Structure formats: C-alpha cells, structure tokens
A and B are shown apart, each in its own frame.
Chain A
Amino acid sequence: MDAFNLLMSGFEIALTWENLLYCLIGVSIGMMVGILPGLGPSAGTALLIPMTFGMDPISAIVMLSGIFYGSMYGGTITTVLVNVPGEAASVITSLDGYPMAKQGRAGVALGISAIGSFIGGTVAIIGVAVVAPQLVKFALAFGPPEFFALIVFGMTMVVGLAGKSIIRGSIAVVLGLVLAMVGMAPGSGVVRFSFGIPHLIDGLNFVTIAMGLFGLSEILLGIEQQMKKPEKPPVVKGLFPSRKELRPSLMSIGRGTGLGFFMGLIPGTSSVVPALMSYSIEKRISKDPKRFGNGAIEGVAGPETANNSFCGGALIPLFLLGIPSSATMAVLLGAFILHGLQPGPTLFVRHPDFVWAVIASMFIGNLLLLFMNLPMAKMWAKVASVPFKLLFPIIIAISIVGTYSISNSLWDVGGLLVFGLLGYFLKKADIPVAPVALMFILGDLMEKSLLQSLALYKGDFFAIFTRPLSGTLLALSVLVITLSIVAGFKSKKDNLVDVEA
C-alpha cells in the first residue's frame, strides 16, 4: 500500500503542467526520431541529452524517457508502412505488419501496436512499482550459461521461421551466423575478416543490414512490380481489428506482456529475443499458422507488446543495480548520472520522489502515445496510399541520411546498398531474409556467452547442462528442434509456412 501512496505522489509531480509538457515534447520528438530509420532509440536519446542540461532533473528524465519510448513506437510506423525496420525488434514486426499494410490494413496494424504497447508498457511499469525489489534475484541468477541457453532457445525459434524449403531456410540461418563472425572475436580479441578496414573491427552493423535486406530490397522489388503491373495503392480500411480478431489479439497482448517483462529483467538481452519468442509462441499456438507472414494480427500485437513491456521490465535492473539492459538504457543511465542521480537499491530510498515521478510519467507518456497514435494511425496509414513513384525516392533519401547517421560516415550508406542488393537477389532465389537478420544478432550473443561459460567452467561443456535454468532451456531447445524436424519430414510443405510470402 505504501508503494501505492508513493505512486500517487509521483503522479502529483508528473502531472504538473511543466512535466506534462516535457513528457509531450519528449514523446513527440521520440516519435520523429523513431520514424527516421537508422537513428534508433539510443542515438536519438543520446543526441538530445544536451537539450536537458538546463532542466530540473525530474523534468529532464521525464523528457528523455519520453523520447525513448516515443522512438520505439515511431520505429513501428516505418516498419509497418514501408518495411524499413530501424531496430532489432522491429524485424519481427515487419513479418506480419508490412503484409497487413499491403492489404490496406496499416491502420489496424498501427492501432493494435499502439494498444499493445500501451498495455505492455503500463503493466510492466506497475510490475516495476510493485514487485521490483523481489525480482532482482531473478535478474542476477542469469549468468553466462543461462544466457547462452536462452540464446540457443531463441535460435530454435528462428528455425521455425525458416520458410517452406529446409535447404533455403538453412542457408539463410547459416548465412546470418557467418555474417555475425565478422569483427573482433569474443574471448580472444582476434580480429576476424576485417581485411584491414577499421569499420569492420567491430563487425557489421545490424541496422545497416536490416535496412538493406528489408527496406531497400523491398523497394527494388516494388519498382519492378509497379512497372510490370501497376497496383493501386491499397485502400485504407478502419483502425480497429474486426470483432473476430479482437479476442486473439488481446490474448497475444497478454502473453506478450508477461514474456517481455521477464525478459526485461535479464540484463544484456537484446529486445529481439522477447519479440521473437512472442512471435513463435503465437504462431505455434495459433489454430491456423499459415496466416502468419501474410498479415496475421497476432503476429504484430504479441511482439510489439513484448517489446514494450521488455523496456518496462528493464527498468528494474537499471534502477536497482545500475545495470542497463540495452544501449538505450545505457544512455538513460548516463543521463541519470549527469543529473546527479546514482542508481542503486538506495535510489528508491534517497530519491523516492524522483523514482515514482518517473514511473508515473512513463504511465502518462504511454497514455499520451496511445491518444496521439490512435488518431494518427489513420493519418500514417495514408502514407501507404501515396503513389509509389513519389514515395520510394523519399524513402531512399531518408534511408541514405539515416544510415549515414549510424556512424556519421558514408561507409554505412555503402552497406545499405550492398545488403539491399543481397536481399533483392536472395528474395528472388526464394531464400528468406528474416532469418539472416535475426541470426546475425543472436549468433554474436551465442558465441560470446558460450565462450564466457566455458571459461568459467574451464572448458567443461556439460556443466552448462547441469545448472537448473540453463539445463531446462537447453532441453527445451532440443525438444523444439526435434519437433520441427519431425514435423518437417512428416509433411514437408504444409507445416513450415514461408513467412516471407
């Protein structure tokens, strides 16, 4: 009950006109930053930190966190409308969000994302407020072996997305893993396949890969299609899911919320993991998995919710341990310190006004986003009806500046082109591109956590299996893989549906 009173006083602070205004500004700037591809949430937040220097700490953090979740939502908009995912988790949203937009249901996709994000975000925030201290133990129980097992489990989920042909799907999976090998090897620091180019020492950039494989290749294919057989832009249909879809989407929002929250507690998890898991759970329990990849609403609702509640859950390790779960969280942490707030278990005791005001403002920010986006979803959806010949040069112009801003160099613009062409040819050869991008992220994490675990146990691989959490996860992975293989052999074509469409 104590927490409730504190939360109420938090609302009092957050609901002052001044803070409300900063929250609104933050959310709007965040949406703008999110819409510009390449400039993901972390860069967006970091670039705007200087704007907050003269502000009162609470207002500053309120605005910065507004930028943060505003940009996450903005990223969804470009993903759904033009298939340019600006960050890892959006890759999953693109699987079904973009097909929905093609069917004229962009408004529905954006609407359900807004609703899902709101529910996921607020439930996670309530979770933070109520059970935060008890959950720190769970977060810390995740050492390198558990992390390795989690990533392996995630990989088995990607295999489920691999498409209609086992060979083509496997090529995509392995190609993603090979791309992940470029750059400095974990553990030994040996630089692999950099060929003397300093940009490659850290490996390839994910955003470049995603924007090329998805965005640019899609535009190239779109040009061809428009010239061969001009298609009228889809008619924008309503904003709300049909009555038949409402229940399943609410169910997937519920599942996504829980999943995202717990994943958020584990420091170092990429937000792609909860989104990916949510997507495959939805696909697996769906009565008709064939719809996935062709505009299934659950495939948008679940992952989008998971992604947002992931960010809420991630506040627990951030507030209590000062451990950021993602690059964006790290930037927020920097902003905390910059404004004289040291995270730690005593943060709740020393600056209760601050903590609760921020939590309350996140609640308000999510509400603002919902109210801004439901009406705006309709407007955004109209973007999809802009004539393609006018739309695509603009998207490419934005993508060029966006990729440039990743490391402020033309190198990434070149990367956009290379991966765009790669995606274009792969799609023509019926090789799905989503596993390439997802495996690229997971491969890196997998090798790193495996080497850490082995270094901890001096090379004893079986020690990973004997830990309860990691052992369970690995056993589950084996089970999932076996099931997919059995299913694959039983009915070669029916069970593994091509998600690329």
Chain B
Amino acid sequence: MKKLFSFVLVLLLVAGALAACSSQESASSKSTSGESSGTSENDDGKFPNKPINVIVAYDAGGGTDTTARTLQPYLEKELGVPVNVINKPGGSGWVGWTEIANAEPDGYTIGYLNSPNFASGLVNPTMQRGIDLDSFTILANHVADPGAIVIRADEDRFTNFKELIDYAKKHELTTTATGVAGDDHLVTLKLNQKLDTKFRAIQFEGTAESRSSFLGGHVDVLITSVGEAYSMHQNNQLKVVAITAKEKSSFLSDVPTVKEAGFDEIISQSTRGLVAPKGLPEEKVEILQDALEKAINNTEHQKKMKELGTQVLYANGDEYLKLLQQDIEDVKGLKDLLGW
C-alpha cells in the first residue's frame, strides 16, 4: 500500500511539474515576445495576443457562470485567443464587479454585469461601494430574462392576470422576492406603483426557496423570471399569467405581456452583459464589441442558449448603456416604496 501511495504521489508530482513547466514556457515566451516589441507599441500591434479573462461575479455553476461558459467557445473563435471564465463570487456580486472596475484597462480583463442587482446596489444607501456605472466601459448585452408573474395551477380566487389584479386591488396578497430591489422585488413594486395593487413582497434567499414556499401555499403569488418558470408552466405545475417585457417570450408563447393583458406597460427584466474597466482604448473596444456581436449572434450559440432556457438579447454598447441607466432610474423612482 505504501509503495502504491508513493507511486501515485510521484506520478502527480511529475505531471504537475510538467504542466507547470509547459505553462511557464508558453507564458514566458509570450512575455518575451511582448517585451521585444516594446510595451506601448505592443498595443497597436495585434490585439488580442494573450488569453482574455472574463470575470463572473457569482459562483461556478450559477446562472451567470453557465451563460459565460456557454459563450466562451464562440468568443474564443472570434478573438482567436483562449478565453478564461474566472469566478469572483461574494458580496452579492460587488466583489467581482469591483474587481472588473479596478482591473488594468488593457482589454484582457472583461466581465459580466448583472442588472438590476447592480443598479439597486448603486441606489442602496447602506451599500458603501467605491465604483459607479462610469467606472466601466460598456461593451454589449448578452442575455435578458423578463419577469414572470405566476399563480398556482389550482388557484381558484383568480385564473388570469386581469382577475389577479382586480382581486389584488381589493385584497392584500403576498408575493415572493429574492433580494431587496432585486429583479423580482421590482416587479411587485412596479405593479403596486402603476396598477394600484396591494401586493406585499416577502423576501426569500433564492428562487428555490421562494418557489417551494409558493407551491406549499405559504405565499399567494410567485414572482420569478421566464427562464425559471417556463418548464414548470409547460408541465402545468404552475401558471404564468403575465410577463413584464415589451413582447411575448419565445419560451411562453401563450402568455401575454402586462400591456397585452390590458394594463399600463410594465417592463422589468434581469440582464447580463459584458463590460470592461473604464479607459479602455477605442480600437480595443471596437475589436471586443465586434467579436462579442458575432459570438452572441452565432446561431449555434443561440440554439444552445435556448436549450438552457435563457433568452439571448444582443444589444450594442450604446443600447446596453441606456438599458443600465434606465434600470438605475427605475430603482431610484421606487426609492419611497423601498424605504431608502
């Protein structure tokens, strides 16, 4: 047994040394080639010429992580260099976002921004953070997941969105939320603000928890996102009565938007897009934006995302910036309801 153990150890060691050496070699050869062409001139040489790191502010295996890793191969193909997904979880996303903002603006560190979580963090007065929207160079939006308003399949007090709203104007109903001023919470607040309903949001830790409380009958209405609800809707485990988007979702073709159901338009969606630290040179911005546009619009990629239940919504830098600014305005407009 002892022999075997030491054998395995040696094997590990040799393999480790080899792997380390090879990575050293490739790294050092790259760095020497970088030095020889000079540091500043190197920039106008060929960008990119080394791996690009994509920071994801959430855990490996989470939604944003899956999104990033699905895009990874297509982005590698467009850029011609390896793309590494790096998880920097913690602080409700702020650890990762701060890391992106403080990175060297050389184009080799970019990352995902999640809104409205980012927007509400900016507005939350108790959140002491050192960065702002203009700490970033906005590249492109990747996915958007509209909010879904859901009732139980066996609910008898109301069966569609109109009945739900009429009921909620007279009676208090509880809704779920996953995080203060998170996307789900904002849906409830916007409903109360625009449609004069009496929904009361209960805060849960995450979708798993809010959904089980809803299915168990402890909460009346589930507020979640289309991506989280569509398969259970198709299985008749629950009923999505409306979505908070501009147009119908391709995942739920039988569900109207709030406007289609006959009310004022309410738009609330969670978006994941790519940003870089501010001060990124214009030509690198263009290279990255161009590659992202092609990678995101790649039909194979879109097909894969659809299988995952995630809706791709490409938006270029300017459009994405507007989207983020709109989110911040929205949260600010709800400050009173949030008690901030």
Contact = CB atoms under 8 A, between A and B. Distances in A.
A267 B235 CA distance: 21
B61 A334 contact: yes
Contacts of A268: 205, 208-209, 212
B308 A201 contact: no
A46 B202 contact: no
Interface in B193-232: 200, 202-206, 208-209, 211-213, 215-219, 231-232
A448 B231 CA distance: 29
A198 B95 contact: yes
Nearest to B309: A337
Contacts of A140: 212, 215-217
B262 interface: no
Interface in A195-243: 195-196, 198-202, 205
B117 to A, nearest CB: 11
B92 A201 contact: yes
Name the residue in B86, B215, B338 with the highest tally of chain A Cβ atoms < 10 Å from its Cβ. B215
A267 B204 CA distance: 12
Nearest to B60: A46
Contacts of A187: 180, 203
Given A331-B60, A334-B66, A448-B203, 15 more contacts: A42-B59, A46-B59, A47-B60, A140-B215, A140-B216, A195-B128, A201-B90, A202-B91, A323-B215, A340-B307, A379-B5, A409-B95, A455-B200, A455-B203, A456-B219
Given A191-B128, A379-B5, A198 B91 contact: yes
Interface of B: 1, 5, 59-62, 65-66, 69, 86-92, 94-95, 98, 120, 124, 126-130, 174, 179-181, 200, 202-206, 208-209, 211-213, 215-219, 231-232, 235, 237, 307-309, 338-339
A456 B174 contact: yes
Interface in A74-126: none
B212 A317 contact: yes
A398 to B, nearest CB: 14
A49 B59 CA distance: 13
B203 A186 contact: yes
A342 interface: yes
A340 B209 CA distance: 23
Interface string A333-350: 011011010101110000
8 contacts: A46-B61, A143-B213, A194-B127, A199-B95, A408-B88, A409-B88, A452-B213, A455-B200
Nearest to A347: B235
Contacts of B219: 456
Contacts of A192: 126
A327 B66 CA distance: 15
Contacts of A47: 60
Given A379-B5, A452-B203, A196 B130 contact: yes
Contacts of B89: 407
A43 interface: yes
Contacts of A189: 120, 124, 126, 179-181, 203, 338
A346 B88 CA distance: 36
A205 B90 CA distance: 9
Contact of A49 (B61, B204, B218, B338): B61
Contacts of A142: 212, 216
A378 B4 CA distance: 14
A400 interface: no
Given A200-B91, A452-B204, A456-B202, A43 B231 contact: no
A501 interface: no
A322 interface: yes
A234 B217 CA distance: 56
Given A189-B179, A268-B209, A408-B86, A43 B60 contact: yes
A337 B231 CA distance: 10
A379 B98 CA distance: 45
Given A189-B179, A407-B88, A346 B235 contact: yes
A188 B209 contact: no
A451 B66 contact: no
Given A198-B98, A267-B208, A456 B5 contact: no
Contacts of B180: 184, 187-189
Contacts of B92: 184, 201-202
Contacts of A408: 86-88
A268 B61 CA distance: 18
Nearest to A325: B208
A187 B95 CA distance: 22
Given A50-B69, A330-B61, A456-B174, A344 B235 contact: yes
B136 to A, nearest CB: 15
Contacts of B208: 267-268, 323-325, 330
Interface in A390-419: 407-409, 411
A143 B214 CA distance: 9
Nearest to B200: A455
A321 B212 contact: yes
B91 A323 contact: no
A139 B90 contact: no
A186 B308 CA distance: 30
A105 B2 CA distance: 20
B265 to A, nearest CB: 27
Contacts of A42: 59, 61
